DNA sequence: CTGTTAGCGCCTTCAC
DNA sequence: GTGAAGGCGCTAACAG
């Protein structure tokens, strides 16, 4: 790798080509008011010098960069990962490039100020618009458009894609109730996320509608990570009588429960029925019954919305709601 | 979302705080030559206005941004995805941020010029260094350091992380031979990638060492995608006699083979033994015997190397080789 | 068709 | 300790 001290700039190209800087700029941006010969010549020089314009400088001056930004808390997180795939697909279709920004740590509790900062960072010249995954604030001040995926707070005028967490949780719980379960444990998600709260409400609602009294002992804390599912499961299993079913606020937490079942020798679904939420890729392989909230689609739709906003196409609706859907697989059985 | 027309700039902050732009800049960069009171005051104003400095402008002027760049062909690609995780982990440990750039299409055959362009794009002010996944060229001209993960060409002086593709392929093929297989099919990877070529060489070498003659009919084309595994498998299965085993150049291709087995009713491993390469997440769930090349570790190590280079720490070795390792699972059986 | 000029927002000397 | 001026690489008017 030749770590050249200085990058070759538009000025270098202009000099080498014997034209002015603006001509080079015109060639760069495919303006059609350049003589054929000049155009070709400049192109050649650009290739020869291996020149590439700096996104930084370019974005600072002009308004359009043809790239969209995506802010995720953590690239490894399955939720964020699926959203990324959806976004990826959308940008390919629109011939945009994608810039993903992350500080890498989903538990690093990004403050609202920090989120706002990231949005500004990208939308201040680098990108034409940004998508932010699970932001804690619903509204951003930004030069370019912003679409939130599963935001904590729903601001009526803030474009967002959300899923029907409540309905999904009701469906999951109802499924367990239909199978005859009465003692159904619930492992919470991150308390600061709207989606987690709605899932708990769905759980409670389904129980109450079925006339099953709420038992606080059956509701334990978790934080959406696999690790948090472990102590939660232990806590639930130490109850007497043990719950016959568990609804975990997301798939990863459910996997934590599965880990505990393995070590404790509890058979699923014979001795314990289990439902997750999200339908991440691993869920299919592990045959986990769960609720699909189509995260990839959320990313895809969100990006489409963003493109409309970038193009100045007005939308009638700024909140796009995606219907969740129960995916019945092998981790639940009827009570004997 | 308040799509403010204009972003709040350092000038706005300066005015609001009643100080000069340079003072604000000093506060922003935590310089210690600012009076305590002024510092606090400016900080407050910054928070109040929700100001955040533009990465674009900042990077253009100063040399350090505290973010590393990662260039991947496609965010959805399992290989790239695993590398991303490794990089993600490394940047968390070093308190850096991460900027991932992608054009989203792995098959869009990125030209060398394009790769060089992406590298410049990021290293021209936005990032302190970049990691590029499976580049077709081995050497880049760039302001900042560049580390390649699994590059097509190994340039002796270009920092790169590679895995022992040849040895891994030998191990995989040998495993099949040890189980008694003689007619072993091979599905190639993308012909333009060094790793694919090395895997084929490993396959051929193992066969020859075992005294098994090479049969061109047993070697068919693929391109590392699951889709490409389908016609390849059909082609192999149409042979008479049919191969008793297949070594696919990567896991995704192997999944394509599995898809065909399902439709054709060919039982694995009873009627066909199958080995993949990469050990992507799905491989574990599908019980696929494969070769682990520790892609996450490649990303992690590569990022570590990059940090050393950013910090100006000299390395004795610029090519880091990661040993592959055969993972025996359930898709192979001894020939009866 | 092409060159000249004026900033975009920020950081870095250099004065005070 | 703080402010003023210059310039990073680029594009967008405006002239010619």
Contact B104 A98 (CB under 8 A): yes
For residues A48 and B116, what is the distance between their CA atoms, to the nearest angstrom? Answer: 12
Convert the pLDDT of each residue in A52-111 to its tens digit.
888 888 888 877 888 999 999 888 888 899 999 999 999 999 989 899 998 887 666 666
pLDDT reading at B173 higher than 90: yes
With respect to residue B2, please indicate whether it lies within any of the assigned structural domains.
no
pLDDT reading at B2 higher than 50: no
pLDDT reading at B177 higher than 70: yes
> Could you say which of B3, B142, B285 has the minimum Cβ distance to residue A285?
B285
Residues 6+ apart with CB under 8 A from B246: B184, B185, B186, B187, B233, B236, B254, B257, B272, B273, B274, B275
With respect to residue A100, please indicate whether it lies within any of the assigned structural domains.
yes
Residue at the smallest CA–C1' distance to nucleotide C2 = A23
Protein-to-nucleotide distance from the CA of A61 to the C1' of D12, whole angstroms:
9
Q: How many CA atoms lie within 13 A of A56 on its CB side?
A: 21
Q: Exposure pattern of B196-229 as b/e (b: 16+ CB <10 Å)?
A: bbbbbebbbbbbeeeebeeeeebbbebbbbbebb
Protein-to-nucleotide distance from the CA of B75 to the C1' of D9, whole angstroms:
30
With respect to residue A37, please indicate whether it lies within any of the assigned structural domains.
yes
Cis (ω within 30 of 0) for the bond into B269?
yes
With respect to residue A2, please indicate whether it lies within any of the assigned structural domains.
no
Q: What is the gyration radius of the CA atoms in chain A, in angstroms? A: 25
Q: Is the CB of B26 under 7 A from strand C?
A: yes
Footprint of strand D on the protein (CB under 7 A): A 6-7, 9-11, 21-22, 24-25, 28-29, 51, 53-54, 57-58, 60-63; B 19-23, 26, 33-35, 37-39, 57, 60-61, 124
A29 and A84 housed in the same domain: no
Convert the pLDDT of each residue in A176-207 to its tens digit.
999 999 999 999 999 888 899 999 999 999 99
A15 part of contact set with chain B, CB < 8 Å: no
pLDDT reading at A230 higher than 90: yes
B174 and B282 housed in the same domain: yes
B155 part of contact set with chain A, CB < 8 Å: yes
> Could you say which of B102, B104, B157 has the minimum Cβ distance to residue A1?
B157
The parent domain of residue A39 ranges over 10-62
| pLDDT tier at B4, thresholds 50, 70, 90 | very low
If DSSP codes are grouped into helix, strand and coil, which group holds residue B189?
Answer: coil
pLDDT reading at A170 higher than 90: yes
For residues A77 and A80, what is the distance between their CA atoms, to the nearest angstrom? Answer: 5
Q: How far is CA B242 from CA A183, A190, B123, B273, B331, in A?
A: 55, 54, 52, 12, 17
With respect to residue B331, please indicate whether it lies within any of the assigned structural domains.
no
| B18 φψ region: left (φ > 0), alpha (ψ -120 to 50), beta (else) | left
> Could you say which of A2, A91, A124 has the minimum Cβ distance to residue B56?
A124
User: pTM of this prediction?
Assistant: 0.87
Q: Which residue of B has its CA nearest to A101?
A: B99
| Mean pLDDT, residues A18-32 taken together | 89
A133 part of contact set with chain B, CB < 8 Å: no
Q: What is the pLDDT of residue A110?
A: 62
For residues A293 and A260, what is the distance between their CA atoms, to the nearest angstrom? Answer: 26
With respect to residue A154, please indicate whether it lies within any of the assigned structural domains.
yes
pLDDT reading at A229 higher than 80: yes
> Could you say which of B97, B125, B146 has the minimum Cβ distance to residue A1?
B146
Q: Which residue has the higher pLDDT, B246 or B66?
A: B246
Distance (Å) from the alpha carbon of B129 to chain A's nearest alpha carbon: 11
| Mean pLDDT, residues B162-176 taken together | 97
Q: How far is CA A30 from CA A18, A27, A146, A241, B108, in A?
A: 19, 5, 28, 73, 21
Least confident range of A132-146, A256-270, B11-25: A132-146
Q: What angle do CA B260, B262, B263 make, to 5 degrees?
A: 65
A159 and A302 housed in the same domain: yes
CATH at residue A217? 3.40.50.2300
A190 and A108 housed in the same domain: no
pLDDT reading at A226 higher than 60: yes
Interface of B with A in 199-218 (CB under 8 A): none
pLDDT reading at B3 higher than 50: no
With respect to residue B132, please indicate whether it lies within any of the assigned structural domains.
yes
Question: Which positions of chain C lie under 7 Å from any protein Cβ?
Answer: 1-5, 7-13
B86 and B178 housed in the same domain: no
Convert the pLDDT of each residue in A37-55 to its tens digit.
899 999 999 888 878 888 8
Distance (Å) from the alpha carbon of A55 to chain B's nearest alpha carbon: 6
B141 and B170 housed in the same domain: no
B137 and B230 housed in the same domain: no
A288 and A309 housed in the same domain: no
> Could you say which of A105, A139, A286 has the minimum Cβ distance to residue B92?
A105
Convert the pLDDT of each residue in A235-253 to its tens digit.
999 999 999 999 999 999 9
Contact B56 A52 (CB under 8 A): no
Q: What is the pLDDT of residue A109?
A: 62
pLDDT reading at B273 higher than 80: yes
In chain B, which residues have their Cβ closer than 8 Å to the Cβ of A116?
A: 50, 52
Convert the pLDDT of each residue in B72-129 to its tens digit.
988 888 889 999 999 999 999 998 889 999 888 766 666 677 788 788 888 888 899 9
Q: What angle do CA A216, A218, A221 make, to 5 degrees?
A: 85
Convert the pLDDT of each residue in B14-38 to its tens digit.
999 999 999 999 998 888 788 889 9
Q: Which domain-ending residue is among B46, B62, B78? A: B62
Interface of B with A in 43-102 (CB under 8 A): 47, 50-52, 54-57, 59-60, 74-76, 81, 84-85, 87-89, 91-92, 97-102
Contact B144 A104 (CB under 8 A): no
Least confident range of A209-218, B18-27, B29-38, B223-232: B29-38
Percent of chain A with pLDDT over 90: 62
A173 and A263 housed in the same domain: yes
Contact B60 A54 (CB under 8 A): yes
Q: Is the CB of A19 under 7 A from strand C?
A: yes
| Mean pLDDT, residues A295-316 taken together | 91
Q: How many CA atoms lie within 13 A of A279 on its CB side?
A: 19
A335 part of contact set with chain B, CB < 8 Å: no
| Total tally of structural domains belonging to chain A | 3
CATH at residue B44? 1.10.260.40
Contact A99 B99 (CB under 8 A): yes
| Mean pLDDT, residues B252-262 taken together | 97
Convert the pLDDT of each residue in A265-284 to its tens digit.
999 999 999 999 999 988 99
Residue at the smallest CA–C1' distance to nucleotide C8 = A61
A286 and A182 housed in the same domain: yes
| Mean pLDDT, residues A101-129 taken together | 79
If DSSP codes are grouped into helix, strand and coil, which group holds residue B220?
Answer: strand
Question: What's the mean pLDDT when you consider all of chain B?
Answer: 90
A155 and A185 housed in the same domain: no
Least confident range of A111-115, B72-76, B216-220: A111-115
With respect to residue B195, please indicate whether it lies within any of the assigned structural domains.
yes
Q: What is the pLDDT of residue B108?
A: 62
Interface of A with B in 286-325 (CB under 8 A): 286
Contact B131, A60 (CB under 8 A): no
| Mean pLDDT, residues B39-62 taken together | 84
For residues A148 and A198, what is the distance between their CA atoms, to the nearest angstrom? Answer: 17
A103 part of contact set with chain B, CB < 8 Å: yes
And the tokens for B230?
Answer: 């389908």
pLDDT reading at B279 higher than 70: yes
A113 part of contact set with chain B, CB < 8 Å: yes
Percent of chain A with pLDDT over 70: 96
Q: What angle do CA B195, B75, B87 make, to 5 degrees?
A: 75
For residues B197 and B166, what is the distance between their CA atoms, to the nearest angstrom? Answer: 9
Size of interface A-B (CB pairs under 8 A): 199
Pick the closest to residue A168 from A124, A198, A131, A189 (CA basis): A198
B300 and B316 housed in the same domain: yes
For residues A260 and A246, what is the distance between their CA atoms, to the nearest angstrom? Answer: 13
| pLDDT tier at A123, thresholds 50, 70, 90 | confident
């Amino acid at each position: 790798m030749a770590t050249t001290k200085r990058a070759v700039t538009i000025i270098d190209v202009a000099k080498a080509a014997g034209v002015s800087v603006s001509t080079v700029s015109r060639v760069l941006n495919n303006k059609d008011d350049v003589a054929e010969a000049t155009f070709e010549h400049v192109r050649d020089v650009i290739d020869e010098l291996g020149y590439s314009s700096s996104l930084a400088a370019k974005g600072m001056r002009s308004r359009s960069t043809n790239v969209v930004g995506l802010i995720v808390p953590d690239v490894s997180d399955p939720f964020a990962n699926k959203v990324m795939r959806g976004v990826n697909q959308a940008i390919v279709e629109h011939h945009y490039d994608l810039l993903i920004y992350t500080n890498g740590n989903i538990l690093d509790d990004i403050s609202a100020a920090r989120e706002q900062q990231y949005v500004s960072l990208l939308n201040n010249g680098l990108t034409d618009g940004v998508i932010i995954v699970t932001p804690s604030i619903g509204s951003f001040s930004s030069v370019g458009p912003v679409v939130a995926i599963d935001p904590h707070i729903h601001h009526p005028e803030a474009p967002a894609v959300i899923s029907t967490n409540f309905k999904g949780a009701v469906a999951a719980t109802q499924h367990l109730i239909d199978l005859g379960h009465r003692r159904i444990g619930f492992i919470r998600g991150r308390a600061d996320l709207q989606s987690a709260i709605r899932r708990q409400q769905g759980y409670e609602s389904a129980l109450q509608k079925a006339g099953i009294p709420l038992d606080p002992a059956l509701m334990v804390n978790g934080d959406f990570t696999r690790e948090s599912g472990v102590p939660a499961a232990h806590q639930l299993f130490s109850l007497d009588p043990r719950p016959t079913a568990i609804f975990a606020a997301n798939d990863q937490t459910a996997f934590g429960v599965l880990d505990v079942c393995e070590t404790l020798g509890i058979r699923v679904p014979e001795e314990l029925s289990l439902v997750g939420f999200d339908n991440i890729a691993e869920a299919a392989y592990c045959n986990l019954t769960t609720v699909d909230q189509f995260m990839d689609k959320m990313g895809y739709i969100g990006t489409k919305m963003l493109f409309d906003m970038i193009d100045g196409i007005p939308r009638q609706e700024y909140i796009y709601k995606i219907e969740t859907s129960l995916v019945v697989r092998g981790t639940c059985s009827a009570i004997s």
